Structure 1
Amino acid sequence: MKTKEHEIIFNKDDVQQFVQLIGDRNPIYQSSERAKDYGFETIPLPPTMPMIAYKWLETPWELKQPIIHRKQKCIQHQRMYIEEIYKAVVEVTDQYQRHNLTFMKQTLFLFNRDGKLCFEGISDLTLGGLS
Structure 2
Amino acid sequence: MKTKEYEIIFTKEDVQPFVQLIGDQNLIYQSPEGAKDDGSESVPLPPTMPMMAYKWVETPLELQQPMIHRKQKCIQHQRMYMDEIYRAIVEVTNPFQRQNLTFIKQTLYLYNNDGQLCFEGVSDLILGGLT
**TM-score normalized by structure 1?**
0.98
Task: Kindly indicate whether residue 35 of structure 2 is the aligned counterpart of residue 35 of structure 1.
Answer: yes
What is aligned with 1:65? 65
Secondary structure of 1:96's partner?
strand
Bigger CA drift: 86-95 or 53-62? 53-62
Task: Give structure 1 regions of 4+ aligned residues with deviation exceeding 3 angstroms.
Answer: none
Structure 2 alignment gaps of length 5 or more: none
What is aligned with 1:15? 15
Shift of 1:50: 0.1
Distance 2:59 2:68 in 1: 18
Give the length in aligned residue pairs: 131
What is aligned with 1:123? 123
Distance 1:108 1:58 in 2: 11
Distance 1:43 1:66 in 2: 38
Secondary structure of 1:128's partner?
strand
- Aligned 8 A contact 2:60 2:90 in 1: no
- Aligned 8 A contact 2:107 2:120 in 1: yes
Return the letter of the residue paired with 1:20.
Q
CA RMSD of superposed structures (Å): 0.6
Task: Kindly indicate whether residue 51 of structure 2 is the aligned counterpart of residue 51 of structure 1.
Answer: yes
Bigger CA drift: 117-126 or 55-64? 55-64
What is aligned with 1:101? 101
**Percent of aligned positions with the same letter in both sequences?**
75
Distance 2:49 2:83 in 1: 14
